[in-house]
Amino acid sequence: MAKTARATKPKPWAEAATYLVDVAMGRRPADLVIRNGRWVNVHSGEIIAGTDIAIAGGRFAYCGPNAGHAIGQGTKVVDAGGRYLVPGLCDAHMHVESGMVTVTEFCRAVIPHGTTSMFIDPHEIANVLGLPGVRLMHDEAVAMPINVLVQMPSCVPSAPGLEHAGAELTVADVAEAMAWENIIGLGEVMNFPGVAANDQVMAGEIAATVRAGKTVGGHYASRDLGLPFHGYVAGGPEDDHEGTRAEDAIARVRQGMKAMLRLGSAWYDVASQIKAVTESGLDPRNFILCTDDSHSGTLVHEGHMDRVVRHAISQGLKPVTAIQMATLNTAQHFRLERELGSIAPGRLADLLIVSDLAAMTIDEVYGRGVRLAKGGKLDIDIPPYDYPKTAKNTVKLGKKLKPGDFDIVAPTGANEIRVRVIGVIENQAPTRALEADLPVEDGLVAMDRRNDVCQIALVERHRGTGGVTNAFVSGFGYMSDCAMASSVAHDAHHIIVVGTSKPDMALAVNRLGEVGGGVVLFSKGKELALVEMPIAGLMSDERAEIVAAKADKMTEAMRQMGCSLNNAYMQHSLLALVVIPELRISDVGLIDVTTFQKVDLFV
């Protein structure tokens, strides 16, 4: 039976130092000694054969050629058999809620894949529940047996005036959170026009973070590398994960930022940007790997940061360099080099035993000196974390939706009308601003399924206003009568429904109202797949494996409807993200994110 893992934080290095010295000198026995490994040293960039590692009190005490002097009567000894000893992997920027599960379940899913440190930005729950929601996830993170550090969300709502979230965070909220034990910095500052314009809220939040000595996360989702970019950097953000081109990464690093390269479930931005290192020769110390958003199916079936490191190696990086970008570089960026990110004396004993370095074949995972996983399976169990009733029942529709709520009335006398269309870009977060000529039938604008133009609607769900914003979207390829609705709709998290059938659109939205949120797919009046997410309408309270199985069923149902997009659910969830160009939908209307203005549906 798996042992239950509870968060037992090792003593601070300053308090543990004399004990570590005694172990290193052989005066006291280690708790654990791992012998005969190949030490992947991310400080020197070497792989050092014949290395022993001694661990005491959850920290590394000795790293060298022979730890026999640290072995005592109670010391557990593990023979690495010449396998690689790799620091535990760090995800520098991510949103737990995008995995559809709680922090606990996310940890259960990723620990076997070698992730021992995560820097999470809970701005999804913040948009629904505000500061109390952030506190819930903060407290759950503290209870984990690995290092889950929290970035205080910065932009709630993400684009004031262009959307209305379920809550609002202030400068005072940010300043208060900076004193919490597990807050590591400010989450991605998405309001990049606000920073460049010296918006008082943005400037105040950044100042509060800098005064607390913590890291300011960035999010510059624009291709304009002119004055707005320079103004943004001058405002204080220290990293950015929104680049998609090599020149984006180069520009950020030249300005003293860290370029975060992401490989999530639907974002494939590593291959293009890593050329800044492999072809342009930039210093890899300023590059960091992350996932940003990982779907539960990806976590269970493909992996987490091991998947990202493996991919980076396949793009031409030396294995040690790729590992540095997922360990030491991350720790240094968050001012935690003396705690995380390497196998070296004093650091937390987060360690992987890896049999194939290039393939990142992880045999064993240790966190704080305790073996947490072996052979891809958890060695421990993490008790569920109970969310209060206040975190549930957050989907408030205000009315039962009907097919007529999705009618788009054409101008009087029109037989055809040109409309703006949101264009999905596969494997990227940005969208395209497209246009299409659509027929008018009985005074209503009709969809054009043959040319892949179907309907999208955003349904207000925080205050029960009954508000519906209607528009059009292209890229999903639905060929049958169907509709998919989700209460995960970054960042304000209203309900987004995309479909080719108005009756199915109404059924899908109403179903989410019944179950308290999630994602559901209907076709011709029949429910084909459902993932319930009752916690803030964002997260399931079920095990990660169960959620992944339901998500797999959703993916297959979408394919049956004609959708061939890679991880189309993730694309669906971003269609209301009014801080990434070019065209998005919100409860305010259709938003041009190149000008940050509401635009008419009709051209």
Q: Provide DSSP, 394-409.
A: ----SS---GGGG--B
Identity (one letter) of the amino acid at 499? G
CA gap 511, 461 in Å, rounded: 13
Query: Cβ atoms within 10 A of the Cβ of 285, count?
Result: 16
* Token pair of 232 as six digits: 């943004």
- Number of CB atoms found within 10 A of residue 535's CB: 26
Query: How far is Cα 357 from Cα 488, in angstroms, rounded to an integer?
Result: 36
Instruction: Look at strands 46-56 and 258-262 and give their pairing.
Output: unpaired
Collect the ranges in the chain with pLDDT lower than 50: 1
Q: What is the pLDDT of residue 349?
A: 98
Provide the pLDDT for residue 3. 64
Provide the pLDDT for residue 242.
94
CA proximity to 137, closest of 89, 97, 98, 91:
97
Which token pair is 589?
């209307």
Q: Is the dihedral of CA 596, 601, 602, 603 positive or negative?
A: positive
Query: Up-side HSE of residue 20: CA atoms within 13 Å toward CB?
Result: 23
Residue 285: closest CA among 240, 329, 343, 334: 329
CB 513 within 8 A of CB 397: yes
Burial class of residue 515 (count of CB atoms within 10 Å of its CB; 0-12, 13-18, 19+): middle
Tokens describing residue 422? 């949101």
Which of 240, 237, 137 minimizes the C-alpha distance to 183? 137
| Strand pairing category for 59-64 and 361-367 | unpaired
Q: What is the dihedral of CA 390, 395, 399, 403, to 10 degrees?
A: -170
What the block records as the tokens of 199 is: 């918006």
The neighbour count for residue 230, using CB atoms within 10 Å, is 13
Q: Strand ranges (DSSP E) for 368-475?
A: 370-374, 377-378, 380-381, 416-424, 431-441, 444-445, 453-459, 468-474
One DSSP character per residue, 469-494 reads: EEEEEESS---SS-EEEES--TTT--
How far is Cα 577 from Cα 303, in angstroms, rounded to an integer? Answer: 26
Burial grade of 106 (CB within 10 A; 0-12, 13-18, 19 or more): buried
**What 3-state DSSP class applies to 223?**
coil
Instruction: Report how far residue 148's alpha carbon sits from residue 184's, in angstroms, rounded to the nearest whole number.
Output: 10
Query: For residue 100, which of 577, 549, 557, 578 has the smallest C-alpha distance?
Result: 549
**Measured torsion, CA atoms of residues 362, 102, 260, 434, in degrees rounded to the nearest 10:** 120
Structure tokens at 465: 């206003």
Query: How distant, in Å, are the alpha carbons of 114, 148, 306 from that of 376?
Result: 9, 20, 12
Say how far apart CA 437 and CA 417 lie, in whole Å.
6
> Taking the C-alpha atoms of 191, 192, 194 and 196 in order, what is their torsion angle to the nearest 10 degrees?
170
Measured from the Cβ of residue 184, the count of other Cβ atoms closer than 10 Å reads 21
47: exposed, middle or buried (Cβ count in 10 Å: 0-12, 13-18, 19+): middle
**Of 429, 427, 474, which is closest to residue 581 (Cα–Cα)?**
429
DSSP β-bridge partners for residue 421: 434
For residue 583, the surrounding DSSP H or E stretch is: strand 583-585
d(CA 80, CA 62): 16
Cis bond before residue 157 (omega within 30° of 0):
yes
Cβ proximity of 476 and 568 under 8 Å: yes
Q: Residue 289: what pLDDT?
A: 98
- In the Cβ-directed half-sphere of 98, how many Cα atoms lie within 13 Å? 28
User: How many whole angstroms separate alpha carbon 562 and alpha carbon 20?
Assistant: 60
> What single DSSP character describes residue 285?
G
Strands 526-532 vs 215-218: parallel, antiparallel or unpaired: unpaired
